[in-house]
């Protein structure tokens, strides 16, 4: 047997490579597995090693059957299949860390739809913002609108910096509203680029929050975009709990809503605005179609067609009404656009009429001669 603590250390070092939220979930499920089977990491290692060395095919899947048994117990207790699958992933990661991988059969994994978090509707977001405590209202409004405009996980929102926000390209839609286009950021969980975009609602909320910080002398020397009362980065866990607490305080109609619900809103609304899934993956920092490169499509500014698609679809992401003066300007722009379209359609007719007039004029000149 290996020295005491070695297996635990190997497992913990493998777990440390995962995002903070994933670490917590895997550790919780793995510990539940240890309790259920009254064992330790060292004993699990020795059991797997013994089974494989035995040469008895009936023992080769003993650990897998233990996992399958506990997954079925989780589902029968009324919890989601996705919760049971997390147990499987946690135990599988442990055995991968000690080079004794499991062979889980897809057919034996729990089936069924997840009963996870729901999408946060626009009216619920407005209610959530309206109920925020005055003390941190501007900051928390900035966090909520950033979550829904960017579609980022809270872990990535918590890591946004003032420098990244200030360096982000500002582009405008046809009625002059500002959008922020960030340099690509590597996400904490998937380790892929997120092409972060923020719309006018989050830009307004963040600017108001930063004005408040500036008045209190809390800008210089504090690099995080969102900070706590100690002027430190507002941590992922604290941010998630803040949103969860606000949802819980709203009662039953906010059940199954959390920070992740904004990510679902972001995807659903952009789909409604006819942005393709592979492009939304790029905005949210998910692994998607590696051959799709809308960020290289040219203007506007840095991120080309991706930025234009986001701007065009932004009305679906809005939760507040457009101010009256902007709405009037938007109507004017739309009327001009329609006029231009009608004019463009009429050009072939005008060209044809001019051609006919020239032919008639030529014929008249010929008859006079």
Superfamily name with CATH number, domain 122-316: Intergrase catalytic core (1.10.443.10)
Q: What is the pLDDT of residue 80?
A: 79
The answer to whether 2 touches 45, Cβ cutoff 8 Å, is yes
Across the beta sheet with 197-198, what order do the strands follow? 169-172, 178-181, 197-198
Supply 286's token pair. 């998910």
pLDDT digits (tens, 9 = 90+) for 244-269: 999 999 999 999 899 999 999 999 99
* Chain centre to alpha carbon of residue 63: 35
pLDDT at 160: 97
Cα(160)–Cα(300) distance, integer angstroms: 23
Nearest to 119 by CA among 234, 17, 271, 4: 271
Domain 6-108, CATH among 2.40.30, 3.30.300, 1.20.950, 1.10.150: 1.10.150
Q: Residue ranges of the domains in the chain?
A: 6-108, 122-316, 326-369
Q: How high is the mean pLDDT in each 10-residue block of the chain (369 residues)? A: 68 86 90 95 94 91 94 87 90 94 88 72 96 94 98 95 96 93 90 94 98 95 95 93 93 91 96 94 84 64 77 96 67 64 73 78 73
Q: Which of 162, 147, 191, 200 is nearest to 310 (CA)?
A: 200
Question: What was the pLDDT predicted at 158?
Answer: 95
The answer to whether the beta carbons of residues 288 and 195 sit under 8 Å apart is: no
Helices (DSSP H) in the chain: which residue ranges? 6-15, 20-36, 41-54, 62-76, 81-97, 122-130, 137-150, 154-158, 162-167, 200-215, 236-249, 260-272, 277-284, 304-313, 324-368
- Stated pTM of the model: 0.67
- Give the pairing type, strands 185-186 and 193-194: antiparallel
Beta carbons of 193 and 186 less than 8 angstroms apart: yes
The HSE-up count of residue 153 (CA atoms within 13 Å, CB side) is: 21
CB neighbourhood size of 103 (10 A): 10
Whether the Cβ atoms of residue 121 and residue 265 lie closer than 8 Å to each other: yes
pLDDT at residue number 337: 66
């Amino acid at each position: 047997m290996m020295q005491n603590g070695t297996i635990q250390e190997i497992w913990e070092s493998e777990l440390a490579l995962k995002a903070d939220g994933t670490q917590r979930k895997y550790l919780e499920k793995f510990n539940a597995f240890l309790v259920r089977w009254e064992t330790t990491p060292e004993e699990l290692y020795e059991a797997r090693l013994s089974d494989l060395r035995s040469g008895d095919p009936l023992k080769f899947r003993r650990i897998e059957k233990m996992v399958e048994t506990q997954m079925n117990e989780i589902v029968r207790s009324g919890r989601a299949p996705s919760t049971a699958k997390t147990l499987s992933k946690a135990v599988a990661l442990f055995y991968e860390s000690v080079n004794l991988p499991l062979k889980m059969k897809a057919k034996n994994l729990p089936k069924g739809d997840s009963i996870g978090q729901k999408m946060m509707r626009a009216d619920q977001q407005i209610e959530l913002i309206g109920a925020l405590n005055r003390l941190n209202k501007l900051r928390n409004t900035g966090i909520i609108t950033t979550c829904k405009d960017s579609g980022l996980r809270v872990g990535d929102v918590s890591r946004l910096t003032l420098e990244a926000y200030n360096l982000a390209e500002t582009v405008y839609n046809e009625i002059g509203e500002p959008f922020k286009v960030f340099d690509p950021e590597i996400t904490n969980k998937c380790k892929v680029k997120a092409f972060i975009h923020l719309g006018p609602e989050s830009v307004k909320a963040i600017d108001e929050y930063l004005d408040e910080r500036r008045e209190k002398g809390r800008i210089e020397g504090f690099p995080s975009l969102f900070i706590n009362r100690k002027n430190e980065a507002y941590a992922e866990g604290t941010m998630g709990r803040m949103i969860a607490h606000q949802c819980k305080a709203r009662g039953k109609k906010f059940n199954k809503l959390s920070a992740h619900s904004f990510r679902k809103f972001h995807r659903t609304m952009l789909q409604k605005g006819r942005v393709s899934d592979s492009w939304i993956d790029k905005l949210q920092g998910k692994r998607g179609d590696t051959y799709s490169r809308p960020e290289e499509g040219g203007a506007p500014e840095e991120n080309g067609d991706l930025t234009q698609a986001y701007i065009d679809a932004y009305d679906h992401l809005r939760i507040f009404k457009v101010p009256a003066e902007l709405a009037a300007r938007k109507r004017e722009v739309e009327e001009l656009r329609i006029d231009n379209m009608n004019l463009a359609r009429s050009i072939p007719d005008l060209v044809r009429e001019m051609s006919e007039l020239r032919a008639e004029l030529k014929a008249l000149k010929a008859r006079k001669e």
